Amino acid sequence: MIKVAKFGGSSLANAEQFTKVKNIITSDEARRYVVPSAPGKRFGKDTKVTDMLYACYAKAEADEDFSADLAAIRERYEEINNGLNIGFDLNPDFELIEKNFKEKAGSDYAASRGEYLNGKLLSAYLGFEFVDSAEIIFFKKDGTLDFEKTQKVMHDRLKKMPNAVIPGFYGCGYDGKVKTFSRGGSDITGSLVAVAIHADLYENWTDVSGFLITDPRIVHNPPTISTITYREMRELSYMGATVLHEDAVFPLRKEGIPVNVKNTNKPEDPGTMIVESTCNKPKYTITGIGGKKGFASITIDKAMMNSEIGFGRKVLEVFEKNGLSFEHTPSGIDTFTVYCSQKEFMEKEQQVIAGLHRAVQPDHIELESDLALIAVVGRGMKRTRGTAGRIFSALAHAHVNVKMIDQGSSELNIIIGVENRDFETAIRAIYSIFVEARI
Ligand code: ASP
């Protein structure tokens, strides 16, 4: 059994967190490959080391004095080094970083030092080998990941090692310089390592015990989702909360490697398992409820529209030409509605309306704003009678007016449009009927 354990920034923010990580690693010898993030926030108003590095490098690039900023970053690592008595000599690394900053090595290089240094400290503390990710992760000329080369080099290098610490977030660009993934990209490193060494499990350690059924700011103490499929996670994540970087998902799914989201501060909690498919029946009919406020709807009315071939395409083309993506397009016999982000739409409002008039000569265009979309997601809804009925009777009892309904034919989700002001009430009502009443 081989496990890859990726630890997020809050799991490695200080010496105390490092101790927890060591306990977790040593309690299971299958945890042979460890992928750390840079030190994150120690408390609410703290700054992540990655952000400190970006800010420090911005000064270096502007030829400003960055010594105090670099000293503050060093302080974060000294705190860990001294707190744990690792006895790691940070001097050579910081001298090199200072020199490279002065020579303008680039902001990707700068940001990557957060995980690089954390990886070095962690490897010294655990007694695991350190493997610089710039030697095993490669990007192509167009800036995208060179998956094949990365997998081959990673596999050959790591497979032989009994254990290793591989810093997250960066690799080697086509030009030989350090290049980072997008923010939160340590998850991608972890997923690449898991695939390369054919891990049985990829653990994503963070500061929550997995995914919650719904937003705890709306519902008091919602339970954790014990198992979720990748598809369910997609349906919920596009509505907000993401725990795993989107680009980390693809390689794992392809190889069928399950992910366990775990809490470094409560390692005994089982967390959430993310899997490709499962016979494991969800505890409730629904797996989760997600949602987002701030949508606008544009309804186009035109008599006999349904016989006009190409109508939908022409409408959507107007949105495309204005660089707007749409969320949903519910339609009636003579109406076609487009839901999109209100903020984005407002910037282009008049161009879109003019464009629609030109493209499809509508009888009438109606705009509505301050709308929210709620996704009720669950593999348990498939072939279960009455799910939609229960949702709508719960909403009616809560006096919520439903503006739009969209059920995908996969029967994995039901999307409901309500007014922004009804958003929380609607989520509470749906939660209550499925989770509290458990029907
Ligand atoms: N440290 C990087 C960030 O803050 C990458 C990561 O934590 O995954 O985005």
pLDDT digits (tens, 9 = 90+) for 372-391: 999 999 988 887 788 888 99
Exposure class string for 199-209: b at 16+ Cβ within 10 A, else e: bebbbbbbbbb
Question: Does 2 score more than 80 pLDDT?
Answer: yes
- Ligand 1 nearest atom to the CA of residue 48, by list position: 4
Ligand 1 contacts CB of residue 38 (under 6 A): yes
Task: Report the 10 Å Cβ neighbour count for 40.
Answer: 24
Ligand 1 contacts CB of residue 167 (under 6 A): no
State the pLDDT at residue 438. 67
State the pLDDT at residue 305. 85
State the pLDDT at residue 116. 98
State the pLDDT at residue 239. 65
Helix/strand number for the chain, H first, E second: 13, 16
Question: Does 283 score more than 90 pLDDT?
Answer: no
φ/ψ of 418, rounded to 5, equals -135, 175
Confidence of residue 406 (pLDDT cuts 50, 70, 90): confident
Reported as type and span, the H/E element at residue 84 is helix 67-84
Helix residue spans in 289-422 (DSSP H): 311-321, 342-360, 387-397
Question: Which of 50, 178, 247 to mutate to test ligand 1, by most ligand atoms within 8 A of the CB atom?
Answer: 50
Distance between CA atoms of 413 and 421, rounded to whole angstroms? 22
State the pLDDT at residue 238. 65
Q: What is the mean pLDDT of residues 193-202?
A: 96
Sign of CA dihedral 268, 270, 271, 274: positive
Ligand 1 contacts CB of residue 76 (under 6 A): no
Strand partners, 164: 33, 129
Ligand 1 contacts CB of residue 191 (under 6 A): no
- Closest-CA residue, ligand 1 atom 2, reads 184
Q: Determine the Cα angle at 16 with ends 10 and 17, to 5°.
A: 30
In Å, how far are 225, 257, 396, 435 from 431, measured between CA atoms? Answer: 13, 30, 14, 5
pLDDT, averaged across the chain: 93
State the pLDDT at residue 420. 96
Ligand 1 contacts CB of residue 173 (under 6 A): no
pLDDT tens sequence across 3-24: 999 999 999 999 999 999 999 9
Question: Which of 6, 11, 17, 48 to mutate to test ligand 1, by most ligand atoms within 8 A of the CB atom?
Answer: 48
Question: Does 33 score more than 70 pLDDT?
Answer: yes
Q: What is the mean pLDDT of residues 62-68?
A: 96
- Closest-CA residue, ligand 1 atom 6, reads 184
Q: What is the mean pLDDT of residues 421-432?
A: 96
Percent of the chain whose pLDDT exceeds 70: 98
CA of 117 to the centre of ligand 1 (A): 13
- Closest-CA residue, ligand 1 atom 8, reads 184
Q: What is the mean pLDDT of residues 406-416?
A: 83
Question: Does 243 score more than 80 pLDDT?
Answer: no
Task: Report the 10 Å Cβ neighbour count for 44.
Answer: 5
- Ligand 1 nearest atom to the CA of residue 183, by list position: 9
Helix residue spans in 203-362 (DSSP H): 230-237, 246-255, 311-321, 342-360
Rg from Cα positions in the chain: 25
Q: Are 289 and 232 in contact (CB under 8 A)?
A: no
Q: Determine the Cα angle at 308 with ends 304 and 311, to 5°.
A: 110
- Ligand 1 nearest atom to the CA of residue 169, by list position: 5
Kindly state the DSSP code that residue 12 receives in the 8-state scheme: G
Ligand 1 contacts CB of residue 222 (under 6 A): no
Burial of 31 (C-beta count, 10 Å sphere; 0-12/13-18/19+): buried
Ligand 1 contacts CB of residue 180 (under 6 A): no
- Closest-CA residue, ligand 1 atom 5, reads 184
Q: Regarding beta strands 288-301 and 364-377, do their DSSP bridges make them parallel or antiparallel, or are they unpaired?
A: antiparallel
Question: Which of 11, 183, 205 to mutate to test ligand 1, by most ligand atoms within 8 A of the CB atom?
Answer: 183
Q: What is the mean pLDDT of residues 258-263?
A: 96
State the pLDDT at residue 235. 84
Does the predicted TM-score (pTM) go above 0.85?
yes
Ligand 1 contacts CB of residue 119 (under 6 A): no
Nearest by Cα to 377 from 407, 408, 410, 412: 412
Q: In sequence order, what DSSP letters do the residues of 313-338 get, joined into one string?
A: HHHHHHHHHTT--EEE--B-SSEEEE
Confidence of residue 240 (pLDDT cuts 50, 70, 90): low
Name every residue whose Cβ is closer than 8 Å to that of residue 93 and which is 6 or more positions away in sequence.
113, 117, 120
